[in-house]
Structure 1
Amino acid sequence: MPTPHLPPQRQVPLGRSHEAQVIDRLLHRARAGQGETLVVRGEAGIGKTTLLDYARTAPGVRTLRVSGAEFESELAFAALHQLCAPMLSVLRRLPDPQRGALEAAFGLSTGTPDRFHLGLAVLNLLSEAAARQPLLCLVDDAQWLDRASARVLAFVARRIQDDRITVVFAVREPAGGDELAGLPELRLGGLTDADARGLLDSRLRAPLDRQVRERIVAEAGGNPLALLELPQTADLAGGFALPATEPAPGGVEASYRTRLEALPAPTRLLMLTAAAEPIGEPSLLHRAARLLGVDPEAATPAEDAGLLTVSPWVRFRHPLVRSAVYRTALPEDRRAVHRALAEVTDDDQPDRRAWHRSMAAAGPDEDVAASLERSAGRARARGGIAATAAFLERAAALTPDPDRRATRALAAARAKRDTGAADAALDLVAMAETDLRADDTPRRAEAAALRARVSFDRRRDDEAVTKLLRAAEVTAHSDPAAARELVLDAFAAAVFVRRFAHGARLLDAADAARALPPLDGPARPLDLLLDGLATQVSEGCAPAAPLLRRAIDAYRRTGNGDEYGLGEVWMACNAAMDLWDDAAWRTLADRQIALARRRGALADLPVLLSFRALAHIHAGEFSHAAALVDETHTIAVDAGAPPVVYVDVSLAAWRGDETATAAFADVATRASHERGEGRLANVTEYARAVLYNGLGQYETAVQASRPACDLDEPGFNSWVPVEFVEAAVRAGRRDLAVPVLERLSERTAASGTHWATGVELRSRALLTDGPAADELYREAIVQLGRSEGTVHLARARLLHGEWLRRAERLTDARAQLRAAHEELAAIGAGAFAARAARELEASGERVPARGTGTPHPLTPQEFQIARLVATGATSREVATQLFLSPRTIDAHLRNVFKKLGITSRRQLRDLPLAVGRAD
């Protein structure tokens, strides 16, 4: 097929042939069905918009374009509305949750749009459009996108690989709070001197003195906009207006300021009006101008100067022009312009009107503050947390009454914290505290709680525990229920800190829980959990077990989970792990994952998926765990959360992958010290103990697990003693194993589950001789066979087989070792399987060679999709669960069918769920 000729108007920007080729290749792949994203980064004026203009001229593609605006960056979903407006006619085709999210975001209905259902809605709208014609989405000035739109667009950009969609962002460097981090990038540098001279010469009407020409080229530093703008304010006869020390972008803005000063005053006022209202509607601009006594014809000098166009939309030559206009205006002129814009803004835009009124206010004004508070409520209902925070912050600043100002400042602080703006939140708390009366205990307690939670958000370290406990103490008298929630947060923080704590922080949290006043009414699951944790820390496992079990059962009985938050679920799952209750652990994780998927609560999923992945490892379902690990990392990027590496290092250890375990452990160890997160160090030591026990390097396993084994705390420390006892006995260090076994026995006896009983019997057998050891091993195998712990059952068989071989009962030994080897090899526990194989060969039995797995193993995502489709779920249902488009699901299914040699979904349902990656 011949390559189509480019239309005559499609000219490659000077000096950007490589960048143009990158764009063309993206569009070529999109036409072939492979979607991609590109983030074009560079300083102001470097040519990002010009490159987007070039992309827009590509033949055979439909183009959607949106630009961020500095003065709209606090208005939620402003940019998204620009992008999606042309496609809203197909809204009815979307699933109800997605359609509802989109309608709520755009004000077409009430309610709070979940941002991940909203992301799916936008993804599916674009996918529908791309099915008819390849789609090019251009997002200019992405650094000024409102945060809600930026998150959704970044979410979409990571999920278009199987659609005919190309997304190109242009973003200024440096850009703080970058939602686009991790996406493929193209960085624009300055033009070469030769290209710079060519661009300059192409725009000059008369020859230029060589010395002046070279000075301009040198000062511009290869910045195309500087090359075009600086000569208009320079003395072209022989001097240069701007100092050589000023960087090009700043020089460009200074150039614009100089040109603005030469315009008539009415023109500057009209341009200021346009700069203050980036909606770009000419009729709105003209109505405001008339109120200011400015004739619309005043725009003509600005248009003649190439700084502004008014038809069909109001557009500045460059965002720097808008900035220069607004920043150089007198404060009284800015207030007058905003006052006029408030007057002419339509009734269906109450939030814009409220914002303009607030910017027009010269001092405190309760009426304006109240209107901003109402706008904050509407923004919150739309899911615009950043806009909510901005409205409330401005409302607080304009509130004349100190008491009401404190209330609004605290509300703004909560909203700022939700957006991740910790410093701004603390500043607002300080504002509130200044206005609060000394005897206003409830709100002073609320301020203290906000400070503590911001500290916990920033670093889950020892200081966070201290602040949370102090906040709970202050809150206890005014709001006992809220105080108990703060103490549970303190428990969670203390569990994270562990060995890096300055003192017995878990005991401090337990003491704080016991000091709280009793609650009126029935106990919540949270209260039961808190009482159980306090008892466990202060009195031990046996007295705490019944309380913790009541709490876990209460959470399991809860219908929809709306009554409690992620912190509670995390601690409840932790308690189930402490009680060796694998069924409760799995049930709680499954229920919460399902709920999070239905809600689209993607930010909660990494922690929940990690708990579930660990349960899969326990059950010997390594492929399932690997699929969830892969999903966890993808979601963590979308949610802006730190990567969760707990499962990575654990899975690598159970697989016997020494290289991967070492790599993950090194990363985790550094992170644990940097963040003061002792829990991560404990997990790493547990994983290393598992690895070295599998490899038969028992002394190394003793040293790896000893630090964590010395800590008698909730969580992974319950499991470490099992590894330590095995390692110590095999290393000939029975004296070390005995006291650890006794501590393990206290925990398992309090639990009483099959899992707990089985691992205790297995551990005790290691320290027992003669027929009694045989009986203990046999009973351990029976108990573990009744649990979900497939890996622990296989390891008990391995230990029993090793004991039988040493007792020279070779026939019995071979039976146990054969079963252990088959189970461990099938699971993918490579080091333990190899250990079993060595024992089998030592018993005189030849170990048959095993295959290396399926010839075409599935990727984690393919495996996840195959498993869900095998349950009978449709592509649309799977797409909703995994936050992908249905077309992406279908594309992955085609790969799954090809790799597995099948042709239909029905055949997929007949395959075992364990099919997937070669472990």
Structure 2
Amino acid sequence: MVRRIGRATVAGGTGLRGIMELFGRRTETAALERLLARAAGGAGAALVLWGEPGIGKTALVDHVVDAASGVTVLRTRGTRIETGLAFGALHALLWPVLDRLDELPDPQAAALRGAFGISRDPANRFLIGAAVVSLLSGLARERPVLVVVDDAQWVDEATAHCLGFLARRVRTEPVLVILTDHADPSPGPWDGVPALEVVGLPDDDARRLVAAAVPGADEALVEGTVAMAGGNPLALQELPTVGRDADDGASGEPMPVGPRLRQAFCARAEALKPATRALLLLAAAEGRGDRHVVDRAGAGWGVDASTWDEALHSGLLQASGARLRFRHPLVPAALYDGAPFPDRRAAHRALAAALPPEATEHRAWHLAAAADGADEDVAVLLEQAAARCLERSAGPLAARTLRRAADLSPDPVDAARRLALAARAAWDAGDAEGARRLLDDAERLGGVEPVVRCSGGLRGILEFTVGLSERAHHYLVGDMAVVDGTRTAMELGTVAARAAWSAGRPDLQQTALARLLALDPAGEPAPVMPTLRSWWACYDGTGRAAGPLPATDAATVGLLGTVPWELLPPVPLAQACGVEGPLHDVLRMQAAQLRRRHELAALAMVLAQSAVLDVAAGRWETAEAGATEGLRLAEEVGADHVASQCRLCLANLAAARGDAPGLDGHTTRALAVSVRQGVRALTASAYWVRGRAALFEGRPRDALHHLMPLGEPGHEAAHPTFALLAAPDTAEAATQEGRTETAAARLVAVETWARRTGAHWARTAAHRLRALAAGGPDTEAAYRAALDGAGTVPDPFEQARTRLLYGEWLRRVRRRADARHELTGAAETFARLGAAPLRARAVRELGLAAQSGARHEPAGAGLTAQELRVAQLAAEGLTNREIAARLLISHRTVGHHLGSVYPKLGVTSRAELARIDMAGDLRLRTTGGGE
């Protein structure tokens, strides 16, 4: 198909080259251009381009006309209105050159004048054909001639025979004849003329055409259009503007089409007898291709054997045994859309009566399509059909079926109930906006509480996924008392707790927990309620730790694999409690179940959380794939919060890999949602990720700028769980900046949590932080304890970070061989994971550890006098500006000197610099042997 930017014109019979873009069609255009070149070389040719309406035949002809330079172009188009007018199309074709008739032999000129009504001479068809050949041959002696007849299937019979006569006799003349037809030309007047079938565009070219026809079209619209259009270029341009919801054809009504497609396909049917048109309408409305049903339905419409013969010979309908198939999926759409509404209703009634007794679902849809007002009996049938759709995970169709059932419901209460059920089906299928609209409609008809019961408290779940967390908590806690069944109330209560946790509101979290604990869990697995309490009793109403937690082992967590996703904890909370391993197995089972049920919104959430656990387990490629898929699904269903979770997982990987653009892009987009909607868990995660990136790049001050707000009450990023999880990073950055009080406070928080929960990560982090703070003989024991504990719940990245810190300490105390062992292991892990910044740091440290020298090499060796003075003052705790004032230099010069001092002394921060004796012999204060 063509997208025109400019149109070629014909001036004085000469084709001027225009500007146009063809999508695909490389084979067809190459063939046509060869024929054009052949005509330019003195040899003629003819070709029939054939294919269904809208397939792009005219675009190819336009391409040839625009490519023709120095050529006389004669062009016309067949029309149905002139089909019965003998030689009407030939007259239109030759009108521009009728002044050349005098150059023909008299008999030929007289025959043409008679054919065109210019004279009363008899219209001898052979003489007319010969006259046309002679006329074009004379024109071709001046320059090549291009003859184009579009829609040749509609030219009158006399012209068709004349054109066939011409096409078979131009091989020795520089004349190119191109005809276009809807059907295979072999049995008609073009018999013996070379033909080329024009078929649908490949998917890639089809996507490009949709994108060009509808600028800004999203991926879902493009893919849906490509799937429906079957490569038909006209459909690819028209379908995106129709506004159709895709379905599987079971709704009883074919897809709507645009006016050009409808006109193109219906024109072929209008030439058929009424009974045949009725048969085609029945086949289009039936939708499944069941010939027996269509035949029974057509019994009262005059459909007989001759009708079937005409329908099958029309080229529109094909039959294989008992199955019917239209030539193209757009044919039934056009025929159905072009039929009068009363005829469509009558067709559906006839089809419903013709269906076998067991086909209740299809009967329901046909009766619904035939209904002209409220009909409870049909609405009941549709509701039953929707239930069967849900059994086979056809959520979108179930939602549409229930919506139609609501339309046909005489009682507003029944209509509201069916709309609420439709909203739940739409949500499960991933249509958040559609679910919200259906809920709104249902509440307007039936009130709030009945809709809450029917939808299972969907309003709060929707708000939690795409709206304000605190508002979601309000809906969810309130709806716990309205919904039917303890299990549903537990699910809402758990999501309410999760919403409060997301908002960083421990007080609201306690409210939800209190409602949960007040439920009677009869019939539920015994450990479920204590397990839920384990998740949500972490903090009191102020955000402080609330005492020892109930034991939560792997077996208890595993029980949650049989419950809905709503009962699962957010992953950061599970990580904090140290049960991320068992939870990952549960999430993997949940993802498989949700895939089978095609519950896209829930699947996106589970994928987002699984990706976080994959990062912690060192499965970075798996994490990236899961987060990317989750992001795509979340964007499709409009789940903004879940999309942000996926982006932050990808941002965490970008931080570790040193991918600054990726980090900035993902965190910026996540913050745009989380800050506006008050989702502090997401905001805190974004701050944490940015802080980690700065820490990995050796910018501890910038790291603290992002990390400190996590523990500052009232800040947009304040969140107790993330403040706890980020405590090791905060303490490390604070240590490098010499902020010992901050580091000590984070160490206390981590040690307290480790005693309270026994979480392996907390115990390991506490050992590492003690090693950073020790600065004496206890340092090595703390590092060894951290490494020994890391193997219980392996996080290769964090273990490599510990080895890096340990290796740096070993190098500073001149144990180079031991340092190289730890640093090499760290560098290898960072290289395997792709953690470029920390790998570079490990490699740099390896280079320092490999340097030869005396056992007690002076710490200040290689420093200039000014660098030594700067280092001494920095070790005493002076800031850059204070040092600058003391030495009468600029603070920027101080920074430059420190940038040289650190690598020369093998340190990375002021805290490490303070441990070096800058007086006397500049020996390390820390004891430790050399190699």
| Interval of TM-score (by shorter of Structure 1 and Structure 2) | 0.5 to 0.7
The aligned residue for residue 828 of structure 2 is 825
**Are 1:755 and 1:787, in contact at CA under 8 Å, matched by a contact in 2?**
yes
The aligned residue for residue 841 of structure 2 is 835
Superposed displacement of residue 589, structure 1: 0.6
Superposed displacement of residue 724, structure 1: 0.9
* 1:291 alignment partner AA: G
Distance 1:674 1:23 in 2: 54
SS in 2 for 1:645: helix
After TM superposition, list the pairs within 5 Å mapping 1:426-437 onto structure 2.
Answer: 426-430=436-440, 432-433=442-443, 436=446
The aligned residue for residue 55 of structure 2 is 47
The aligned residue for residue 529 of structure 2 is 527
SS in 2 for 1:546: coil
Superposed displacement of residue 660, structure 1: 5.1
Is 1:750 equivalent to 2:759 in the alignment? Answer: no
Q: 1:785 to 1:253 in 2, by over 3 A?
A: closer
The aligned residue for residue 536 of structure 1 is 538
Identity of aligned residues (%): 27
TM-score, structure 2 as length reference: 0.57
Is 1:727 equivalent to 2:727 in the alignment? Answer: no
TM-score, structure 1 as length reference: 0.58
* 1:732 alignment partner AA: G
Question: What is the aligned counterpart of 1:554 among 553, 556, 568?
Answer: 556
Q: 1:795 to 1:660 in 2, by over 3 A?
A: same
Q: 1:342 to 1:750 in 2, by over 3 A?
A: same
**Are 1:410 and 1:447, in contact at CA under 8 Å, matched by a contact in 2?**
yes
SS in 2 for 1:810: coil
Question: What is the aligned counterpart of 1:289 among 298, 314, 317?
Answer: 298
* 1:276 alignment partner AA: A
* Number of equivalent positions: 634
Question: What is the aligned counterpart of 1:633 among 610, 628, 637?
Answer: 628
**Are 2:528 and 2:559, in contact at CA under 8 Å, matched by a contact in 1?**
no
* 2:772 alignment partner AA: L
The aligned residue for residue 178 of structure 1 is 220
* 1:511 alignment partner AA: T
The aligned residue for residue 373 of structure 1 is 383
**Are 2:420 and 2:455, in contact at CA under 8 Å, matched by a contact in 1?**
yes
SS in 2 for 1:696: coil
The aligned residue for residue 21 of structure 1 is 26
After TM superposition, list the pairs within 5 Å mapping 1:644-663 onto structure 2.
Answer: 644-658=646-660, 661-662=663-664
After TM superposition, list the pairs within 5 Å mapping 1:14-93 onto structure 2.
Answer: 19-21=24-26, 46-47=54-55
* 1:20 alignment partner AA: R
Question: What is the aligned counterpart of 2:285 among 264, 270, 276?
Answer: 276
Is 1:588 equivalent to 2:630 in the alignment? Answer: no
Is 1:471 equivalent to 2:479 in the alignment? Answer: yes
Q: 1:565 to 1:327 in 2, by over 3 A?
A: same
Q: Which moved more, 1:639-648 or 1:756-765?
A: 639-648
SS in 2 for 1:399: coil
**Are 2:502 and 2:679, in contact at CA under 8 Å, matched by a contact in 1?**
yes
**Are 1:290 and 1:296, in contact at CA under 8 Å, matched by a contact in 2?**
no
The aligned residue for residue 342 of structure 1 is 352
Distance 1:744 1:17 in 2: 65
**Are 2:607 and 2:629, in contact at CA under 8 Å, matched by a contact in 1?**
no
After TM superposition, list the pairs within 5 Å mapping 1:293-442 onto structure 2.
Answer: 308-309=316-317, 322-323=332-333, 325-327=335-337, 329-347=339-357, 349-430=359-440, 432-433=442-443, 436=446
Deviations 1:289-333 (A, max 9, x none): 3324666767899999x7954766767787676556545655443
After TM superposition, list the pairs within 5 Å mapping 1:218-297 onto structure 2.
Answer: 250-251=259-260, 253=262, 269-292=278-301
The aligned residue for residue 514 of structure 1 is 514
* 2:520 alignment partner AA: L
Distance 2:227 2:350 in 1: 42
**Are 1:372 and 1:391, in contact at CA under 8 Å, matched by a contact in 2?**
yes
**Are 1:656 and 1:831, in contact at CA under 8 Å, matched by a contact in 2?**
yes
Distance 1:345 1:827 in 2: 66
Q: 1:653 to 1:545 in 2, by over 3 A?
A: farther
Distance 2:377 2:238 in 1: 47
After TM superposition, list the pairs within 5 Å mapping 1:839-854 onto structure 2.
Answer: 839-842=845-848, 845=851
Deviations 1:687-730 (A, max 9, x none): 33333323322112212322334356365443211111111121
Relative contact order, CA 8 A, sep 6+: which one is greater?
1
Distance 1:414 1:50 in 2: 47
The aligned residue for residue 766 of structure 2 is 760
**Are 1:368 and 1:395, in contact at CA under 8 Å, matched by a contact in 2?**
yes
**Are 2:535 and 2:574, in contact at CA under 8 Å, matched by a contact in 1?**
no
Distance 1:177 1:277 in 2: 31
Q: 1:224 to 1:656 in 2, by over 3 A?
A: closer
Distance 1:592 1:393 in 2: 33
Superposed displacement of residue 353, structure 1: 1.8
The aligned residue for residue 694 of structure 1 is 696
Question: What is the aligned counterpart of 1:685 among 684, 687, 693?
Answer: 687
Question: What is the aligned counterpart of 1:703 among 702, 705, 727?
Answer: 705
**Are 2:684 and 2:719, in contact at CA under 8 Å, matched by a contact in 1?**
no
The aligned residue for residue 892 of structure 2 is none
Distance 1:630 1:323 in 2: 39
The aligned residue for residue 215 of structure 1 is none
**Are 1:452 and 1:468, in contact at CA under 8 Å, matched by a contact in 2?**
yes
Unaligned 5+ segments in structure 2 are 1-19, 31-51, 61-197, 240-256, 854-931
**Are 1:613 and 1:626, in contact at CA under 8 Å, matched by a contact in 2?**
no
**Are 1:292 and 1:337, in contact at CA under 8 Å, matched by a contact in 2?**
no
* 2:348 alignment partner AA: H
SS in 2 for 1:395: helix
Superposed displacement of residue 771, structure 1: 4.0
Deviations 1:751-803 (A, max 9, x none): 22343122123224434454455554454444445552444344334434545
* 1:279 alignment partner AA: R
Distance 1:139 1:350 in 2: 38
Question: What is the aligned counterpart of 2:818 among 815, 822, 829?
Answer: 815
* 1:625 alignment partner AA: W
SS in 2 for 1:536: coil
Unaligned 5+ segments in structure 1 are 1-14, 26-43, 53-137, 143-156, 159-165, 192-219, 226-247, 499-503, 848-919
Deviations 1:221-251 (A, max 9, x none): 99999xxxxxxxxxxxxxxxxxxxxxx9535
Deviations 1:90-146 (A, max 9, x none): xxxxxxxxxxxxxxxxxxxxxxxxxxxxxxxxxxxxxxxxxxxxxxxx99899xxxx
After TM superposition, list the pairs within 5 Å mapping 1:98-247 onto structure 2.
Answer: 178=220, 181=223
Superposed displacement of residue 519, structure 1: 1.1
Distance 1:302 1:271 in 2: 7
Distance 2:709 2:22 in 1: 59
Q: 1:455 to 1:301 in 2, by over 3 A?
A: farther
Distance 1:704 1:675 in 2: 20
**Are 2:206 and 2:226, in contact at CA under 8 Å, matched by a contact in 1?**
no
Distance 1:442 1:785 in 2: 53
* 1:468 alignment partner AA: L
Superposed displacement of residue 370, structure 1: 2.8
* 1:691 alignment partner AA: A
Deviations 1:352-391 (A, max 9, x none): 2221122223333333233323322332333322232233
Deviations 1:257-316 (A, max 9, x none): 899899887666555434322334555434323324666767899999x79547667677
The aligned residue for residue 574 of structure 1 is 572
**Are 2:55 and 2:200, in contact at CA under 8 Å, matched by a contact in 1?**
no
Q: 1:356 to 1:554 in 2, by over 3 A?
A: same
The aligned residue for residue 805 of structure 2 is 799
Mark the structure with the bigger radius of gyration.
Answer: 2
SS in 1 for 2:719: coil
CA root-mean-square deviation:
5.1
**Are 2:727 and 2:747, in contact at CA under 8 Å, matched by a contact in 1?**
yes
Superposed displacement of residue 495, structure 1: 4.2
